[in-house]
Structure 1
Amino acid sequence: MKDLQALLRDHPFFAGMTDADLATLAGCAWNEQFEPGQHVFREGGEANRFYLIRHGRVALLTHGGNRGWLTLETLQDGDVLGWSWLIPPYRWQFDARARTTTRVTAFDGSCLRATCERDSRLGYDLVKRFAGELARRSAAARLQLLDVYGGDRDRG
């Protein structure tokens, strides 16, 4: 099996990072597995991790009142799960539940925040990567809303 640094090097989220930075990040990481139906995290809970999905699928869910649980997005191999570890008050915004057996590399948020405080260059690099991920997800959510509600409605 590959070591953590090699797994990070092969993941698209960390493309172009130096071996030294990958080694630093690997010091805050471990491998984990979730079984189908198992919660990765729950809305409102302490957000102190993020995950690189190596294999499997994870649904992001929110409760829609009398409509029950709604799937906002399903993430899969190569995706990043969890950004709330980076933004105070460090609480999950959604539920995340494994849809299939899912193997991830998990990162300790406290360890990463402390590392970023010591190394602002690495911290800035991570923030840029997460900002890009958030922008991509926001655009995908907008397209999904347009698909559900149509694009020629009153803009007022």
Structure 2
Amino acid sequence: MATTTNLLSLLSPADRDRLLKFAADVSFPAGARIFEEGSRADRFWVVLTGLVALDVHVPGRRAATVDAIGQGELLGWSWLVPPHTWQLGAEAHGPVHALEFDASAVRTLIDEEPVLGLAITRCVATVVGNRLQSTRTRLLDLYGPAGSGPKL
């Protein structure tokens, strides 16, 4: 099944080109913290190569990895939703090359061009929905009672 979390592939070619005007190439070395849970979400990325682990703070313990973002996928959606703070943390697992977007500039674009804004918002909502479903499935696998899966 093809990934539906690829923001750029979900946009029309014209909308993708308009959004890419706000992109800059960036790289992160292995182990780099890209953002911290609770900090200001002022940018987002589309991963070109590499893998990024998403984690959640666990008091008194090491952060728990809850998901991984790979090639072509959107890294970060908290930039779109007030109060614009990261809900998770992110760390590069191996070298990562990505397109980085200035969240404020993209939010301004969304406000100024409602049709494009709706397209971007729908794409981000698709990403969030898919990630929530994936997380739900993992939680059921980990914590669901035995026999709670589908009945055959």
TM over 0.5: yes
Q: Does residue 43 in structure 1 map to residue 37 in structure 2?
A: yes
- TM (normalized to structure 2)? 0.87
Q: Which residue, 76, 79, 83 being the options, matches 2:77?
A: 83
Report the CA distance between 1:153 and its aligned residue: 8.1
Report the CA distance between 1:36 and its aligned residue: 0.7
Which range is displaced more, 61-70 or 46-55?
61-70
Aligned to 2:96: 102
Runs of 4+ in 1 over 3 A off after TM superposition: 16-20, 151-154
Report the CA distance between 1:151 and its aligned residue: 4.2
Report the CA distance between 1:152 and its aligned residue: 4.7
- What is the identity percentage for the equivalent residue pairs of Structure 1 and Structure 2? 32
Aligned to 1:130: 124
- Cα distance in 1 between the residues matched to 2:130 and 2:69: 13
* Structure (1 or 2) with the greater helix fraction: 1
Give the total of aligned pairs. 144
Unaligned residue ranges in structure 2 (runs of 5+): none
Are the aligned partners of 2:11 and 2:123 in contact in 1 as well (CA < 8 Å)? no
- Cα distance in 1 between the residues matched to 2:9 and 2:19: 13
- Cα distance in 2 between the residues matched to 1:98 and 1:16: 24
SS in 2 for 1:23: helix
Aligned to 2:113: 119
Aligned to 1:4: none
SS in 2 for 1:148: helix
- TM (normalized to structure 1)? 0.85
- Cα distance in 1 between the residues matched to 2:28 and 2:56: 19
Aligned to 2:57: 63
Report the CA distance between 1:140 and its aligned residue: 0.6
- Cα distance in 1 between the residues matched to 2:127 and 2:60: 31
Report the CA distance between 1:27 and its aligned residue: 1.8
